[in-house]
Amino acid sequence: MAGSGESARTTAASPPGPPPGFGEGAPPDNALHALGFEYTRITGSEVLGRLAVTETCCQPFKILNGGVSALMAESTASIGGYMASGYRRVAGVQLSINHLKPARLGDRIEAKANPIQVGRNVQVWEVQIWLLDPATSEHKDLVSSARVTLLTNLSTPEEMKIYEKGIKKYAKL
């Protein structure tokens, strides 16, 4: 890019902005959305969401990949922590997850995140991932149990404040 040196350096140094269209209804978590995860409840005291276990989510043995469970745990806890902190930026600093029973290809699962401790600087959330009964959609078997620790005393860059608008839109599910 000869002749554009100054503008190229300025552009490269700019902080990234929010995802395109986020404040207009884009999903709260792009990675989970790409897997088909759907949030059903978002508050500062509970976050719920469901996922159909597809081939994209599975290991070669047609069992839910443990990394998908970890992603569900950290994402649901982080969104709940973001709301519970008054829309301050959060960062996961510890994730511990136990995989208790398999979820198989074709199963539907639900993540349920609840705070254990909501402090000014640190929050601790418990996330349970349940296998859903196909006939009733009730919790059947506990698939995974996780504990997520979040740092919550981070300032939110101005260009990311639009995220709050998007989360509030989803919180009215």
Mapped onto helix, strand or coil, the DSSP state of residue 18 is coil
Active site (annotated) includes residue 55 = no
Contacts of 159 (CB under 8 A, 6+ apart): 15, 16, 17, 18
Please give the order of strands across the beta sheet that includes 47-52: 38-42, 47-52, 108-118, 122-132, 139-154, 89-99
* Structure tokens belonging to residue 119: 């402090």
Question: 149: which residues sit within 8 A by CB, 6+ positions away?
Answer: 92, 93, 94, 95, 122, 123, 124, 125
> Cα–chain-centroid distance for residue 104?
21
Do residues 131 and 51 lie in contact, with contact meaning Cβ atoms separated by under 8 Å? no
Measure the CA–CA gap between 158 and 147, rounded to whole angstroms. Answer: 30
Q: Of 74, 110, 138, 164, which residue is the catalytic one?
A: 74
Tell me the catalytic residues.
Answer: 74
